[in-house]
Amino acid sequence: MIRGTKVFNNKNISITSMPLKYNKPDYVYIPLVSYKNKNFDILVKPDDYVLKGQVIARSKDKFSFPIHSSVSGLVKEIQKRKYIDNEDIDSIVIENDFLEKEKKIGNKHKINSYSIEEVVEILKECGIVGMSGNNFPTYYKYGMELKIKKLIINAVESESFLTSDFTVLNSYTSEILETIDALMEIFKIEECVIAVKDFNKKAVDDLVQYIGSYTKISIKSVPDNYTMGWEKYLTEYLFKVKIKKYPMEKSILVENISTIFGIYEALKYRKPIVERIVTFSGDALKKPQNVLVKIGTPIKEVINFIGGYITDKKPYLIVNGPMMGHCLETDDTVITKNMCGVIALNKIDTSEEMDCINCGKCTNICPNRLAPILIINEKNVNNIKKLHPEKCIGCGLCSYICPSKIHLREKVLDIRDKVIQK
């Protein structure tokens, strides 16, 4: 049984036919973060001139993942800047010369002509990551010695307000299909399903116009039910299989729609991820919409570009959705590869927590069948481990459903992280 509920939508606020483009930041601040690694070899120094797309740092972990400049210009310094998780992170400051000089990448490529090894190397060197929030290096999945039989393209976008994936799908439909077809040919994938929400009729209609010649690719709509976008649920719903942990157990790979477009640009042009489409939405903004913006651009610059805040009162800023995201401390935080959206709200529910009434709603709704209230109340470490907090996916349903307004999600995640670290 798929657990979840229908949550408020608020997507129509930001939907536009094409995203705006903001490529004029005076400075970009490129955070030195790759997945969970913050230890890097920095390959540039102050006063070095860099090109757009040039590798400026490389991680010191097993991934040896590159970090690219999103502009051409002069390296100024290494500076601490707020990252998506509100932590101060070393960031390379680059002064934009607005010339958009790019690292030479050659001609367009026929993207179905690569070998598996070539695809894996290109995805690595172009810094392609999961763009729905996890920031995991994409090349690693394709480089595993596992047979991929089926592919799911996740365009569900369960979170309220967010429409960046919707915008990518509608703006680059033919490119998305070309990429899927190429991956299926190279990796000998038997079937692909593009999953969209029931309400997203426009996306379905647009896909139908293009999909006729792609006989192994189908479109399936899924219920408007949160957390249908979770890859485990999505796989079980679409293919009627039981997943213990990851879809690859059944040789099924799930890929986010924005990541697929990143793969397209990497394979077609050798272009790294130096920009992405981000949703800016919420009742505190004058003109909510989607914007194509350079990695490392401060959020406040983009908000000013689209019209600014409605009032001078400081809004609440939520990154990557009200359910799984979190509040940002400042709009000086910069755009990252894994930033799907920024929601600016005039008010949020700040009700004080009340005592648990033992209703059991948090346990009944948890998609991984955990008992959140038991996890946060248990003091014995061994007993906590038996409750498996490491299985929490941070979906936020427990907090959403709780009549006592207990911050269950945050507390369980904190316990989960401590258990994992031990």
415 domain-assigned: yes
Strand pairing class (55-59; 66-68): antiparallel
The tens digit of pLDDT for each residue in 266-284 reads 999 999 999 999 999 999 9
Mention every residue, 6+ apart, whose C-beta is less than 8 A from residue 346. Answer: 283, 284, 310, 311, 313, 315, 316
- What torsion do the CA atoms of 410, 413, 414, 415 make, to the nearest 10 degrees? 130
Contact 82, 334 (CB under 8 A): yes
Measured in degrees and rounded to the nearest 5, phi and psi for residue 31 equal -70, 135
Are both 265 and 366 inside the same structural domain? no
- How many structural domains are present in the chain? 2
If we measure between CA atoms, which residue out of 288, 262, 267, 256 comes closest to residue 165?
A: 256
- What torsion do the CA atoms of 354, 360, 363, 366 make, to the nearest 10 degrees? -70
* pLDDT computed for residue 202 by the predictor: 67
The DSSP result for 29-71, as a single string, is EEE--BTTB--EEE---TT-EE-BT-EEEEESSTT--EEE-SS
E strand segments, 223-262: 252-256
Are both 257 and 374 inside the same structural domain? no
CATH number, domain at 255? 3.40.50.11540
**Is the predicted pLDDT of residue 108 greater than 90, yes or no?**
no
The DSSP result for 93-155, as a single string, is EEEE-S---B----S---TTS--HHHHHHHHHHTT-B-TTTT--BHHHHHHSS----EEEEEE
Domain of 149 in residue numbering reads as 116-269
* pLDDT computed for residue 349 by the predictor: 82
Q: Of the candidates 214, 240, 269, which is a domain's last residue?
A: 269
Distance CA 376, CA 365 (A): 17
**Is the predicted pLDDT of residue 160 greater than 70, yes or no?**
yes
CB atoms < 10 A from the CB of 79, how many? 13
Q: Of the candidates 230, 253, 269, which is a domain's last residue?
A: 269
Mean pLDDT, the chain, as a whole number?
Answer: 92
261 domain-assigned: yes
* pLDDT computed for residue 30 by the predictor: 98
324 domain-assigned: no
Are both 259 and 381 inside the same structural domain? no
Task: Name the band, by pLDDT with cuts 50, 70 and 90, for residue 298.
Answer: very high
Q: Residue 258 to residues 254, 261, 305, 338, 418: CA-CA distances in angstroms?
A: 12, 5, 23, 10, 31
* pLDDT computed for residue 369 by the predictor: 93
Are both 245 and 371 inside the same structural domain? no
Q: How many residues make up the chain in this entry? A: 422
* pLDDT computed for residue 106 by the predictor: 61
**Which letter does DSSP use for residue 172 in this model?**
S
Q: Of the candidates 219, 245, 269, which is a domain's last residue?
A: 269
* pLDDT computed for residue 185 by the predictor: 96
173 domain-assigned: yes
195 domain-assigned: yes
The tens digit of pLDDT for each residue in 7-52 reads 888 888 888 768 999 999 999 999 999 888 899 999 999 999 999 9
Are both 258 and 367 inside the same structural domain? no
- List, in sequence order, the alpha helices (H) in 240-341: 257-269, 299-305
The tens digit of pLDDT for each residue in 229-261 reads 999 999 999 999 999 989 999 999 999 999 999
* pLDDT computed for residue 203 by the predictor: 66
pTM: 0.94
Determine the average pLDDT of the residues in 73-95. Answer: 96
Token code pair at residue 310? 């409605």
65 domain-assigned: no
**Is the predicted pLDDT of residue 132 greater than 90, yes or no?**
no
181 domain-assigned: yes
Are both 227 and 121 inside the same structural domain? yes
305 domain-assigned: no
Task: Name the band, by pLDDT with cuts 50, 70 and 90, for residue 148.
Answer: very high
